[in-house]
């Protein structure tokens, strides 16, 4: 299937690590131009080396996404360097465990800044370019938005808002032919997920208990599988899909655990 993404400029927040890295590499493999926004300069450098060695075009912008001014500058940089933006993938975030018992109102606002506000900011600043290209937005959400997790009010509510904004923007941007969808992962092995596992006395035992509850194959979702869903939603093959929440989770959220 030809996704017809060649030459498309795709801005990806958190594009140098984890799911974002897989999306960036997937874009490059389709001859699109990933523009990676990430606060981690070492991870950005590593991605630049990887993409350069393979002969891929790319953009890289070190950016503190909690700062709206830096978000605006990053979008401006993408437009100045490549002349256009065809897609935005809002991906960056962290399950920071800010809950009712282990957080404060200040911590809660900070969690929303890390996990929600930059989704709006990047979309706002990219909107003019996306109107010109009749582009697409894909928001990365989380199963915590619909299942809850406990002890993570900030992250869960941010991701719930991401799902709501996906539908809201899909409606608002209909006149401009801009499609907006969300991908909802559940259990994906990323560097942040590995760090979380290490907080348990027996990380392997915790991992085994998680994968045993994933109906399809009793395994973690691969970051590349999330990326594949994102690329499809960005492509012309998904040209009549908007306002949708696509769960890529091996049936974790919606299938009866008795099946696993």
Q: For residue 204, give both structure tokens.
A: 């392997």
Evaluated on CA atoms 230, 233, 234, 237, the torsion sign reads positive
Q: What does the pLDDT read at residue 256?
A: 78
Give me the domains of the chain, ranges plus CATH numbers. 9-188+222-251 (3.40.50.720)
Helix (H) or strand (E) holding 24: helix 18-29
Q: What does the pLDDT read at residue 5?
A: 98
Query: Among 137, 118, 30, which residue's Cα sits nearest to residue 71?
Result: 118
DSSP state of 237: G
CA atoms within 13 A on the CB side of 50: 18
User: Where on the phi/psi map is residue 31: left (φ > 0), alpha (ψ -120 to 50), or beta?
Assistant: left
Helix (H) or strand (E) holding 36: strand 33-38
Q: What is the pTM of this model?
A: 0.95
d(CA 249, CA 131): 32
pLDDT in single tens digits along all 260 residues of the chain:
789 999 999 999 999 999 999 999 999 999 999 999 999 999 999 999 999 999 999 999 999 999 999 999 999 999 999 999 999 999 999 999 999 999 999 999 999 999 999 999 999 999 999 999 999 999 999 999 999 999 999 999 999 999 999 999 999 999 999 999 999 999 998 888 888 788 899 989 989 999 999 999 999 999 999 999 999 999 999 999 999 999 999 999 999 766 55
Cα torsion through 127, 8, 242, 11, rounded to 10: -50
Angle at CA of residue 132, ends 135 and 37, nearest 5°: 55
d(CA 140, CA 90): 6
List residues bridging with 61 in a β-sheet. 37
Q: What does the pLDDT read at residue 259?
A: 57
Q: Give the residue carrying structure tokens 């996990």.
A: 115
Helices vs. strands in the chain: H and E counts, helices first: 10, 7
Candidates 119, 155, 193, 247; catalytic one: 155
193 assigned to active site: no
Backbone angles phi, psi at 106, to 5 degrees: -65, -45
Number of C-beta neighbours around residue 3 at 10 A: 20
**Residue 77: alpha-carbon gap to chain centroid:** 20
Q: For residue 136, give both structure tokens.
A: 């697409």
């Amino acid at each position: 299937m030809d996704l017809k993404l060649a030459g498309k400029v795709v801005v990806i927040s958190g594009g140098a690590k984890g799911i974002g890295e897989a999306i960036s590499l997937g874009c490059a493999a389709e001859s699109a131009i990933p523009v990676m926004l990430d606060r981690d300069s070492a991870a950005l450098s590593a991605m630049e080396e990887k993409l350069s060695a393979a002969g891929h075009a790319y953009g890289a912008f070190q950016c503190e996404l909690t700062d709206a001014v830096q978000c605006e500058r990053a979008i401006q940089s993408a437009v100045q360097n490549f002349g256009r933006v065809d897609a935005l993938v809002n991906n960056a975030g962290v399950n920071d465990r800010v809950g009712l018992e282990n957080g404060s109102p200040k911590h809660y606002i900070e969690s929303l800044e890390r996990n929600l506000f930059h989704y709006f900011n990047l979309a706002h600043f990219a909107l003019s370019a996306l109107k010109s290209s009749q582009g697409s937005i894909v928001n990365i959400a989380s199963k915590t938005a619909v299942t809850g997790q406990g002890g993570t009010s900030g992250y869960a509510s941010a991701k719930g808002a991401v799902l709501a904004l996906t539908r809201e923007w899909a409606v608002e941007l209909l006149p401009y032919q801009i499609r907006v969808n969300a991908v909802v992962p559940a259990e994906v092995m990323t560097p942040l997920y590995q760090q979380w596992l290490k907080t348990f006395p027996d990380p392997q035992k915790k991992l085994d208990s998680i994968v045993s509850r994933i109906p399809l194959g009793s395994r973690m979702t691969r970051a590349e599988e999330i990326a594949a869903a994102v690329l499809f939603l960005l492509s012309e093959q998904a040209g009549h899909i908007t306002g949708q929440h696509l769960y890529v989770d091996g049936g974790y959220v919606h299938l009866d655990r008795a099946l696993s």
